[in-house]
Amino acid sequence: MDHATVDGEEYREVVARYRGSVVVAKIRNGGLMVCPVCGKYYFSSEKDLILHIISHAKQELYRYTDNGQDKQHKQ
C-alpha cells in the first residue's frame, strides 16, 4: 500500500478482491474506499465496491450492444 497526502488529506491505496476481480481503490481517512471510476461513491466493503464498478462496466458494454445502437438510432 502507498501512503501519500493530497490536499492535506491522507490517501492510502488498497487492493480489493471479489470473486476473481481485483480493483485498486483509494481509501479516505474515514476508512472508506472510493470508487476509482467515478470518484463519487464510497464503500465500506470490497464486495460493494466491485459490484459498483461492474455496474460502470455494464454501462460501457451497453453502448456497444445492438440494443444500445438501436436505442441511439431512435433518438
Report the interface residues with Zn ion, using CB under 5 A. Answer: 35, 37-38, 41
How far is the C-alpha of 17 from the C-alpha of 58, rounded, in Å?
Answer: 19
Could you give the count of Cα atoms lying within 13 Å of 48 in the half-sphere of its Cβ? Answer: 8
Query: Smallest distance from the beta carbon of 5 to Zn ion, in angstroms?
Result: 23
In the complex with Zn ion, which residue's Cβ is closer, 60 or 69?
60
Query: Smallest distance from the beta carbon of 30 to Zn ion, in angstroms?
Result: 17
Query: Smallest distance from the beta carbon of 70 to Zn ion, in angstroms?
Result: 26
In the complex with Zn ion, which residue's Cβ is closer, 4 or 38?
38
How far is the C-alpha of 42 from the C-alpha of 13, rounded, in Å?
Answer: 14
In the complex with Zn ion, which residue's Cβ is closer, 44 or 69?
44
How far is the C-alpha of 54 from the C-alpha of 72, rounded, in Å?
Answer: 23
